[in-house]
Amino acid sequence: MKSYVLDSFAMIAYFEDEPGADKVAGILTEIHEKGARGYMSVINWGEIYYNTMRESGKEDAKRVIEQLSKYTIEIVDANKALTILAAKFKAQYPIAYADCFAAALAVQRKAVVVTGDPEFRRLSGRISIEWVV
């Protein structure tokens, strides 16, 4: 069974109907209807919230988070083990700390990161990536 870690980049593209939205929609369908597993770090979940609030306001942020909760995506808390793994990625690679949580979760869950964020190119070979754009 395939497992995916959805990065905030991919979900924001989906919610804002940006390039890559169709590919994310296909992965969400695979998770919801075909038994694939979907995960997201609570750090990336928060990134979606603050990004939407900053760009569109508090009501839109609330709406996006409510819509996200309708998908069968497990929101994974940042426990010590996940945080240490994310910190190791941050120490080794010049990428955003929130992105390190998506990468760490992918390693923990043996999953593919779904993203279009070019920072993840630095992790090619360390994690599996499904590019949406």
pTM, to two decimals: 0.94
Which CATH number do you get for residue 70?
Answer: 3.40.50.1010
Q: What is the pLDDT along the chain (133 residues), one digit of tens a residue?
A: 899 999 999 999 999 999 999 999 999 999 999 999 999 999 999 999 999 999 999 999 999 999 999 999 999 999 999 999 999 999 999 999 999 999 999 999 999 999 999 999 999 999 999 999 9
End-to-end CA separation in angstroms for the chain: 24
- Report which of 119, 23, 30 is spatially closest to residue 127, judged by C-alpha positions: 119
Six-digit token string for 99: 């992105």
Domain of 116, in residue numbers: 3-131
Total count of domains within the chain: 1
